[in-house]
Structure 1
Amino acid sequence: MRYFPRLFATLLLTCLSTFACAEKLLIVTEPWAPYVYLEDGQAKGIDYEVTVEVFKRLGVEVDWQFLPWKRCLAMIDQGLADGILDIFQTEERDRYLYYPDEPLSEVAFVLFYANARPHPVERLEDLAGLTIGTSPGYTYSTAFNESSRFKREPAPTHEANFGKLQRGRIDLLITDRRVGRFLASELGLAQDVSELPLVVNSQHQYLAIRRNAGKDSLAQRFAEELRRFKREPAYAALNARYASMGDKFPTTVEQQESGTP
């Protein structure tokens, strides 16, 4: 009988170790500054840092991989990753991803142009005959994605899109407002490019968990802890630190494109 406590302790530690292993995640994402990015090999960004803090509070260990977006989606589809950061929710993706009911952030897709080659655009119909730089695997809006009035030309990176815009190889590029402003500033193009007031679409970004990964309840636990964190001064301070990064553009009046989801 004197061996029973030792046996019980061993079994308890084994169970705890198994649980800990089950709570280790591989999360993939694409650099998408200022939401998530790498600087001198160190991961940063408002959504990245919020996610790290929430998982820390939940006691979940995370391994990160930064990859092109299409590769991120492929790894989720093939069951090679447990979660994906800063993804939009769509009906198709609901089939293989669990989404927390609390988003990390909201993006606003706008169009950027080179100041030397302005294109006045007030609605999508005004893009007729133009070539718009896009990013592979990104979902903008049904109206934008399916329009036959203009050409969509993908580039391997967001930086490449700005290079093509500067050289006149595309007429406009579409990206999130904060991402575009941040990159233009980082690339030294803040005085050479501008954004149009038209908002093609606005969407929430999430940390989504792959279905059938044995972590079905994690998305809801993440949402609950994220809501708690958002009410704390630490979240406000973190958000304020990133709020104005790359924001050297004049404030414009937003115009939401009608008929987009």
Structure 2
Amino acid sequence: MKAIRFSIISLIFSLCIYGISASAENITGASLNWEPYIGHEMPREGYVAEVVKEAFSREGYNLEIQYMPWARVVALSKEGRFDAYFPEYYAEELKEDFLISDPFPGGPLVFFQKKGANITYNSMEDLRSYKIGVVRGYVNTPEFDAAEYLTKDPVTEDMQNLLKLLAGRIDLMVVDKYVGLHLLRTQVPDRVNEIEIVEPPLGFNDLYVCFPKNTKDAEKRLKAFNKGLKDLKDSGQMKAIMASHGF
């Protein structure tokens, strides 16, 4: 009798688990390898991936992330090839093609320079004479992005800019502070002392998930994500996830 009772309980439990799994809707998101925030080789794919997946999961969505260069992430998402892309910085022009989520924590955006270059600035005008490395497709800050008089040299990823800066091929590079320091420490640790941060920072950018307007249920998924994100913040799990990834 005990064996039968145990079998029945096990069957009910299995059916419940199956029901939960079967009811979850599979969606696909696009992102880039942008350590230490997110990356397919990072533990649990990094802080950003864990937060976004957990927020969706709380509202009945199972998110799979595909990784590729950022310009391709944005271009394919704009075509409606993905249900969402992230992590994005806020920009008004994004609203033409995307619904934008509530924010979650990002980091300071800064300039890197070679030590001893002694570049200082108080406004964008002060940077006219410098060649500045940027990543193609990145949103930076409204003021910097609108400064068409600046000499901006685009590449595919941050590491390319760092190597160009070390080689003296650019004067400055725009980079998230934590991304830049991570690249220095993991990719060129013997050259960490050759780079310094220019003060003041360009700004502090929160992160967002963008939902292409031309995809089915974009509004529904936006609302679901925002609800799940709020739950993460209110419960304290957001801070716990960040701390577990070193933020």
TM-score by length of 2: 0.82
Residue aligning to 2:224: 221
In structure 1, what is the equivalent of residue 30 of structure 2?
Answer: 28
Kept after mapping to 1: 8 A contact 2:120/2:199: no
Q: Which amino acid aligns with 1:158?
A: D
Q: CA deviation at 1:30?
A: 1.3
SS at match of 2:29: strand
2:185 aligned partner: 185
Alignment of 1:232 with 2:221, yes or no, is no
- 8 Å contact 2:70–2:156 — kept in the other structure? no
Which protein is richer in helix relative to its size?
Answer: 2
> How far did 1:71 drift?
0.5
Task: State the aligned residue count.
Answer: 225
Q: Distance in 1 between matches of 2:214 and 2:159?
A: 35
Ranges in structure 1 where 5+ consecutive residues have no aligned partner: 1-15, 245-261
Counterpart residue type for residue 75 of structure 1 = L
What secondary structure is seen at the aligned counterpart in 2 of 1:203? strand
Quote the residue 2:105 is aligned against. Answer: 105
Instruction: Give unmatched runs, 5+ long, in structure 2.
Output: 1-18
Report the CA distance between 1:148 and its aligned residue.
4.8
Superposed CA offset, 1:28-85 (max 9, x none): 0111222211327x66221111111122222212221111111011111211111001
* Counterpart for residue 200 of structure 1: 202
The RMSD of aligned alpha carbons is 2.3
Over the matched positions of the two proteins, sequence identity in percent amounts to 23
* Inter-partner Cα distance in structure 2 for 1:132 and 1:146: 14
CA shift digits 1:165-212 (9 cap, x unpaired): 111010010011221122222221432211112222333211122223
Distance of aligned partners of 1:95 and 1:148 in 2 relative to their CA distance in 1, 3 Å threshold? closer
Name 1:75's counterpart in structure 2. 76
Per the alignment, do residues 180 and 225 of structure 1 end up closer, same or farther by CA in structure 2, a change over 3 Å counting? same
CA distance in 2, matches of 1:205, 1:131: 27
Shift of 1:95: 2.5
Counterpart of 1:153 in structure 2: which amino acid?
D
Matched with 2:153 is 153
Partner of 1:51: 52
Contact 2:90–2:139 (Cα < 8 Å) also in 1: no
2:94 is equivalent to residue 93 of structure 1: yes
Shift of the 147–210 alpha-carbon distance from structure 1 to 2, 3 Å rule, reads closer
Q: Do the aligned partners of 2:134 and 2:173 also contact (CA within 8 Å) in 1? A: yes
State the TM-score, normalized to the length of structure 1. 0.77
Alignment check: 8 A CA contact 1:47 1:105 kept: no
